[in-house]
Amino acid sequence: MYKTKIDLSDKVRRSVVVILNDRLAEAIDLQSQIKQAHWNVKGPHFIALQDLFGKISNVVLGQIDLIAERVTSLGGTAEGTVAVAARRSKLKNYPMSITSGRDHLVQLSTQIAAVGKAVRSGADDTEELGDKDTADLFTGISRELDKYLWFVEAHLQAKE
């Protein structure tokens, strides 16, 4: 840990950094899965879904940056390589064989919901540790993920 004048104990900062790096891994994994869908979606709603997936990917990319910057501001090292993310992420692997818009929507809704749940848990855990700022960061991220989960699920709820 690097020295900082942030008024959280070294023990708290170390614990929070572990939580942040776990969420960082999942965010990196999620963003790459969203790009997989963006690049490979096929079907009658191709352009709408490709645009939606591209927008969500950009949002998650911003969240990745916020999480990594919080790690380093606390004196930790952001562990954000693809190799580390692959080892640490708890997300299920994205199926390489799917192409239909509906299949991508089902898969992404599951993954976005899983990351949202993990981020909310991170908010609770960091609040309990006394780091309200990280808890607030996670709350903002979960709120954004919930919004985009709604956008994805709206396509699945349509009666066609």
Taking only the tens place, the pLDDT of each residue in 141-156 is: 999 999 999 999 999 9
User: Given a cut of 80, is residue 64 above it in pLDDT?
Assistant: yes
> What is the mean predicted confidence (pLDDT) over 54-80?
98
User: Given a cut of 80, is residue 54 above it in pLDDT?
Assistant: yes
User: Given a cut of 90, is residue 1 above it in pLDDT?
Assistant: no
> What is the mean predicted confidence (pLDDT) over 45-60?
96
DSSP state, 97?
T
Contact 119, 145 (CB under 8 A): yes
pLDDT tens digits for 82-137?
999 999 999 999 999 999 999 999 999 999 999 999 999 999 999 999 999 999 99
pLDDT tens digits for 2-27?
988 899 999 999 999 999 999 999 99
Predicted confidence at residue 44, as pLDDT, reads 87
Q: Rg of the Cα trace of the chain?
A: 17
User: Given a cut of 90, is residue 159 above it in pLDDT?
Assistant: no
Which one, of 122, 139, 107, lies nearest residue 30 by Cα? 107
User: What are the sequence ranges of the domains in the chain?
Assistant: 10-154
pTM of the model: 0.95
39 CB neighbour count, 10 Å cutoff: 10
Predicted confidence at residue 160, as pLDDT, reads 59
CA dist list (Å): 112 to 29, 38, 57, 76, 146: 11, 15, 11, 26, 8
Q: Which residues of 69-95 are buried (b: 16+ CB within 10 A; e: fewer)?
A: ebbeebbbebbbeeeebeebbebeebe
Q: How far apart are CA 41 and CA 3, in angstroms?
A: 46
Specify the CATH number for 10-154; select among 1.20.1260.10, 1.10.3720.10, 3.40.50.410, 3.40.640.10. Answer: 1.20.1260.10
**Which of helix, strand or coil describes residue 100?**
strand
